[in-house]
Structure 1
Amino acid sequence: MKKLALTLGSVALLPQAALAHVGDHGASLFVSGVMHPLGGTDHVLAMVAVGLWAAVTAGRALWALPLGFVGAMLAGGALGAMGLVLPGVEPMILASIVLLGVAAALAWRAPLAVGVGIVAAFGLFHGHAHGTEGPAAGLLSYGAGFAFATMALHGAGVALGLGLNALSVRGAARAFGAGTAVAGLALTFA
């Protein structure tokens, strides 16, 4: 568990612009889609924070928050791929890191519909970035790739939060949430 925490913490400290990118990963569109959220610290932090918030909230939030994010992210990806403009995408992505980190740090137990609404709103903006910068052809394969990577990152956040709670490391999951919020602020002013 310490290795996972150290790895996630190290990733959060990597200096990267708050921009998603596809780049040439030399593989299929699915792999390109997988690499897209993994290639930006902003996406990694926000997606892990969704999982952390779900873990500290527990109950139905364990599946509802991640699925709400991914569903809206796919809709945002479709909007971006169609060329529809969504204003403030990058500021909303940065805001998502900070606010989702704060929600996890405070262990905010929002009503489920409110929590899902919040993550869905942020998911829409993350998805728009993915869709805008994705390939013109093969959107389904690419979208499946970035949905898969997103669910894996949510799962990592849930596993980290639940694992720390199971080990009775008091407040550690909340501390990771606070660290996420601080990293989001650092990216904002980078």
Structure 2
Amino acid sequence: MILSRSRRLFAVLAATLLTAAGLLVSPAPALAAITTYVSVKKPDGATSVKVLDMREYSRDNYGRAQLWALRKTGEVRNQRWTITRVASDEWGQGIYTLRNSLSQKCLDQPGGGGNGTPVVQMTCDRNSTSQQWVFEDIFGDGTAWQPLSNNRSGLCLDVTNVSYNDGALLQVWRCVGDWNQRWNIS
């Protein structure tokens, strides 16, 4: 009887140690995506915060992205984005997808992408470089306000006509580093 208790105790102890050892050598989980607002840098004299927003709460492919005042109450999911790092470029800068919390569609620069190409949302496709955005630290200052360039075209997410008005549509444009091309995704 004593021997059988010893064997049971040994078996329980061995199983516990093996389980603990398995936890120690298990691979770490991937970094989780964050869900947040994506704001544009305020121009001189501006007081309100403006963010990336899906026009008219669109859930459709080709729904237009626009600038709008940050809302913190009511239906805000059209202003919230799940940002997932999918790769790094050759300089170590992060390449991200931005998925809208309301529509579950990804920010996209469709077509060939030249200056003035509208920025829209499309069904997410993890292999589509038109849905990948590079957060570029081109100023070398480590600040949060940096350009987001499209991984397919190399053009920057841009507020049309350098407008800080609600409803200003977004497009891609040659990167020039003005406030209307500087975004905060942290």
TM-score (norm 1): 0.26
Which structure has the bigger radius of gyration?
2
Structure with the larger helix share: 1
Give the TM-score of the pair, scaled to structure 2. 0.27
Which structure has more relative contact order (CA 8 Å, sep 6+)? It is 1
Higher strand share: 2
